[in-house]
Structure 1
Amino acid sequence: MNEDTHSKLMAIKQSFRLFMDGTTSRSMAQKGLGYKINWGVPFHELRKMAMPYAPNYDLAIELWKENIRECKIMATLIMPAERMSIELIDVWTDQPIQQELAEMLAFNLLQHVNFAPTLAYQWMASNRPDRQICAYQLLARLFMKGCEPNDRGLDEYLDQVSIALQHENLGVRHAANVSLQKLAMLNEGYEQRVNELLDGLQTP
C-alpha cells in the first residue's frame, strides 16, 4: 500500500467515530450483522463520505480488506466499475458476506459492471445464500434498467427463482421476490409468466 492510500484509509477510519451510532450498531449486532467493528454509520452518510474519494481502485481494495462494516460498504462505493473483474469479485466474496453487504454490492457496484448478467445467473444457482441474495438484487436492478432475458435465460431464471422463493433464508426469499416484481413490470408478457409461476407455487 502506498503512502497516499494509507493516509486516506486512516483518515476514513478515523472519521467513522464522528458518526458513531451505538444504538444502530447494537441493533445490527442483535440481527446477526456481525462485523469485527460496526460503527452504525447510516448509508446516506457513508455515501457522502465516499464522494471525495471516488473512484479509487487501490483505496477500494484496502477498504474491503478491513473487517469493518463501513469500510466494506465504502469499498463498493468507490471501486471503479470498469476495473472490477469476475476474478476480483470472487476474491472479495471468497468467504460469505453479510446480507446487507450482499445487497450493497449489487446496488452500489455490480449493477454497473459489464459482466453483471453473467454473474447474476452464475450466483443465482449458488448454494450460498449471500451470493443468491446478491444475484437476485442484481437482477432486480437490471430489470429496472430494461434489461430483458432471452428465452433460455428466462426459463432458467424462473426455474431458479421458484426454488429461491421457498428458501429457508428470509433474505433469499425477499431478494427473489423483489426481482420477480421488477421482471413483471417490464411488460404484460413477463407479468403473465410471473403470475403463472406464483399461482403454481400456491397450488397444493
Structure 2
Amino acid sequence: MELQEQLRQIKRALHSMMNGPVSQAMRNKGLTYKVNFGVEKPRLEEFSHELPKTYELAAALWKENIRECRLLAGMLMPVADFPADLADVWVEQILFPEEADNLVFYLLSRTSYASERAFVWLADERPMFRYVGYQLLGRLFTEKKVPNRRDMLEYLDHTTTDLRADNTMVKQAAWRSLMKFMDLGIGQERLGNQVLDSVGM
C-alpha cells in the first residue's frame, strides 16, 4: 500500500476513535497540536498492533502535527532502524513530555545505545533533553540495569544539580529517576540519600 494511503487510513481510523472530552481536556492543559483526537494510550497501543512496523511509516507519522500519529511513530519504529543520530533529532523535535515518555518506553529503552545517549542528553543545556535522559535512565534502573561506578558518579552529580534547578519538569524527572536508582540496592539507596540530604529534600 502506498505510504500516503496508509497515512490517510490511519487518520480515518484515529478520527473514528476520537474522544472529544479527553481531547478538550488536553488542549486546556496546553497540548496544542494541530489535531488531537484524545485517543487513550491503551487503545492507541492496541491499534498499533494492526499496523506495519516500518521505518517509512514511523518516520512519516512523526512528521505529522497530530498527537496520536507522533505517539504511534514511537510504537512502530523498528529499533534496528533507529540509529543514535536519528534519536538525537527526534528528541530535539519532541513537543511535550507525553511524547518523551512514549519514546522512552516503546523505543529508546530498547536500543543498544540507550545508556550512552542518556548521559549525553543529561549534559545538554536544553530541558527536554535532560528530561528524556532522566526518564530513560529511570526506565533502565527499573529493568535492574546497574551503572558502573564512573557513570554512577556522573549521574549523581547531574541529579544533585537538577534537583536544585528551577525547571519543574527536569527536577521531577531527576527525582523520579533517583527513586528508581535507590531501588537498585543498599549501596545505591545510601548514595541516593546522600544526594537528597545535600539538596535539603
> What TM-score results when the alignment is normalised by the length of structure 1?
0.93
2:18 pairs with 1:20: yes
**1:96 positional shift:** 4.6
Change (3 A) 1:104 1:96: closer
Indicate the residue corresponding to 2:66 in structure 1.
68
Instruction: Tell me which amino acid in the other structure corresponds to 1:82.
Output: A
Which residue type is aligned with residue 118 of structure 2?
A
For residue 199 of structure 2, give the secondary structure of its aligned residue in structure 1: helix
Q: C-alpha displacement at 1:171, in angstroms?
A: 2.0
Cross-structure match for 2:134: 136
Deviation per residue, 1:110-142 (Å, 9 max, x gap): 000100001100111112221111111110111
C-alpha distance in structure 1 between counterparts of 2:101 and 2:86, whole Å: 18
2:185 match: 187
Q: Choose the corresponding residue for 1:119, options 113, 117, 120.
A: 117
Q: Which residue of 1 aligns with 2:47?
A: 49
2:108 is matched with which residue: 102, 107, 110?
Answer: 110
Unaligned stretches of 5+ in structure 2? Answer: none
Provide the TM-score with structure 2 as the length reference: 0.94
**Quick check: 2:163–2:199 contact (8 Å CA) kept in 1?**
no
Between the two proteins, the alignment pairs up a number of residues equal to 201
Structure 2 counterpart of 1:101, one-letter code: E
Letter in 1 for 2:49: M
Alpha-carbon distance between aligned partners in 1 of 2:31 and 2:4, rounded to the nearest angstrom: 27
Query: For residues 54 and 189 of structure 1, what CA distance do their matches in structure 2 show?
Result: 44
Question: Deviation at 1:54?
Answer: 4.4
Aligned to 1:170: 168
Are the counterparts in 2 of residues 132 and 172 from structure 1 also a CA contact under 8 Å? Answer: yes
Deviation at residue 170 of structure 1 after TM alignment? 2.2
What secondary structure, in the 3-state scheme, does the structure 2 residue paired with 1:53 have?
Answer: coil
Deviations 1:8-66 (CA, angstroms, capped at 9, x unpaired): 21111111111212221122122222212111111011101101224221110110010
Shift of 1:71: 0.2
Question: Do the aligned residues in 1 keep the contact of 2:100 with 2:132 (CA within 8 Å)?
Answer: yes
